[in-house]
Copies of this chain bind each other. A is one copy, B any other.
Amino acid sequence: MNKKLSDFELDVMSIFWRVNKASAPQVHELITENKEVSYSTVKTIVDRLEQKSAIKRESLQGRTIFYAPAIKQESLSTPLLKGFLRRLFSNRPQQLIAQLIENEELNNDDIEKLEKMLAEKKSTQRKSKK
């Protein structure tokens, strides 16, 4: 992958990550559930994502092109999370996590998984004298 992706491009990527394979008309359909944009606009973004090698042509049906992600979500989210944490949370992961716990939905399974991870981290750190 070459370059940074814009917000709109990431919106479209998030659709590809969700449905895995989609044509531009389908992406348009999904996008317009949230905001009204013309087909042309969406297709331009899809083209740019292909240019940037974030998606690739996967198959054809008639002359309709189906695309699929060419990069994994984590390969973008991991570096971007660093920047986000720095710019908006002064590099304090604790603050960011706290805000998520307060404002976002977590079911009990999620919570228990996270509790396990925290406990694990604590003991690891004790061992390594962190």
Give the Cβ gap from A39 to chain B, nearest Cβ, in Å.
21
**Copies of this chain held together in the complex:** 2
- With CB as the reference atom, state the residue of chain B lying closest to A105: B93
Q: How large is the interface on A (under 10, 10 to 19, 20 to 34, 35 or more residues)?
A: 35 or more
Interface-side segment among A25-33, A48-56, A59-67, A75-83: A75-83
Task: Specify the main secondary structure of chain A where it touches its partner.
Answer: helix
* Contact partners of A118 in chain B: CB under 8 A: 101, 106, 111, 114-115, 118
Interface centre among A14, A73, A94, A103 (most CB of B within 10 A): A94
Give the Cβ gap from A119 to chain B, nearest Cβ, in Å.
8
The answer to the question of A127 belonging to the interface, with a C-beta cut-off of 8 Å to chain B, is: no
